[in-house]
Amino acid sequence: MEPLPLTINRMIRDNSHDLRLRVIAGADGLDRRITEKNIHRPGLLFAGFTAIFPSRRIQLIGVTEIKFLNQLDGPSRVPAIERLFEQSPPCVIVAHRSRVPSSMKELSERYGIPLISSSLSTNDIAYLLINYLSDKLSETASIHGTLVDVYGTGLLFVGRAGIGKSEIALDLVERGHRLVADDVVTLSLKPPGILVGTGPEMLKHLIEIRGVGVIDVREIFGVSAIRLQKRVEMVVELVDWDGSEDYERLGLEEHNREYLGMRIPLIKLPIYPGKNITVIAEAIALNLHLKVYGYNAARELDRKLRARLKNKQKITKYLRWDSE
């Protein structure tokens, strides 16, 4: 199911408390869509510079722009304001509850472009609105997998259908970890380049166990066993054991899986009956913590082996001619 489009009406509804928005004209245009996450200050447009105008962005007007418009005489003010509405932006927001010229309200009604007032400053509006738009307009993708918060690390389990992703997630929840999403994981790209996973609204907190059915994790284990979203930090691909396959032994080679242009560390984990995948998953999460703090067990072992070999070569060379 595709996400609902972001409209002016939805933006106002979602931010009624934080941004204190109030429609003062152009209510017929509340269904206009927002497609740009950045906003724009149209001061240069009022002064007559119309080139390179980002018409798809929400326009934010502050005290400076209002004072500039108010100092213009009537014949000059109306064309200056009309240049803005001719660009057909999604909406126009006026900060500080500034008293707007009556001609601005009239043009808002004529062009069907919402004119919105807020008591906040331009800086506060810009900060809150850009954060909101970045979240709502972020790039998304849905994948088949299971996302679990293990010791604060987002582990995304992927693999063929029926390989045991949901069973592993249920075992991890029973051990005190937190389910984010099962079966379908929606990935969103958040600034600055962070991949966040969540579950579809209809499937939140639910796990499907083959042979058992659907289990509501929140109702059985409580709210401490779930979370709404989590950053994806490691992809664990579950694969069927193949004795002829050459699996990673030391972990010196680093593999990645790309989602929405972001490269996420990947571990291919072969499984077979009786293998304790839950404990291994916990070890994967804790080992990632160590890497974040600068300790890599595989590289440390490699360093020690190289140092040992180098030292042995020195001793051999030193004693080469010291024979009896």
Express each pLDDT in 247-270 by its tens digit: 676 666 788 999 998 999 999 999
Is residue 249 part of the annotated active site? The answer reads yes
Average of per-residue pLDDT across 196-215: 89
Fold of 140-301: Rossmann fold (3.40.50)
Domain 8-136 is of which CATH architecture? 3-Layer(aba) Sandwich (3.40)
Point out the catalytic residue in the list 77, 83, 183, 257: 183
Q: Provide the token pair at 38.
A: 């950045």
**pLDDT for 193:** 84
Residue 135 CA to residue 15 CA, distance in Å, equals 13
Average pLDDT, the chain: 88
Catalogue the long-range contacts made by 197-205 (C-beta closer than 8 Å, 24 or more residues apart).
197/147, 197/154, 197/156, 197/229, 197/230, 197/231, 197/232, 198/228, 198/229, 198/230, 199/147, 200/1, 200/142, 204/228, 205/179
**pLDDT for 1:** 46
Q: Is 122 left (phi over 0), alpha (psi -120 to 50) or beta?
A: alpha
Is residue 210 part of the annotated active site? The answer reads no
Q: Which whole-number Å values give the CA distances from 10 to 64, 95, 113, 133, 228, in the listed order?
A: 28, 19, 15, 11, 21
With CA atoms as reference, report the closest residue to 196 among 223, 220, 230. 230
Point out the catalytic residue in the list 17, 246, 249, 310: 249
Q: List % helix, strand, coil for the chain (3-state, nearest 5).
A: 40, 25, 35
More confident residue, 165 or 298: 165
List the strands of the sheet with 115-118, edge to edge.
Answer: 21-25, 115-118, 92-94, 58-61, 39-40
Q: How many CA atoms lie within 13 A of 262 on its CB side?
A: 22
Is residue 289 part of the annotated active site? The answer reads no
Is residue 149 part of the annotated active site? The answer reads no
Beta-ladder partners of 90: none
Convert the pLDDT of each residue in 12-54 to its tens digit: 999 988 999 999 999 999 999 999 999 999 999 998 888 889 9
Question: Quick one: what percent of the chain has pLDDT higher than 70?
Answer: 93
With CA atoms as reference, report the closest residue to 238 among 146, 148, 151. 146
With CA atoms as reference, report the closest residue to 257 among 271, 267, 242, 248. 267
Point out the catalytic residue in the list 110, 144, 275, 289: 144
Beta-carbon contacts of 13 under 8 Å, excluding residues fewer than 6 positions away, are none
Convert the pLDDT of each residue in 221-237 to its tens digit: 999 999 999 999 999 99
In the chain, what are the domain boundaries? 8-136, 140-301
Residue 86 CA to residue 3 CA, distance in Å, equals 30
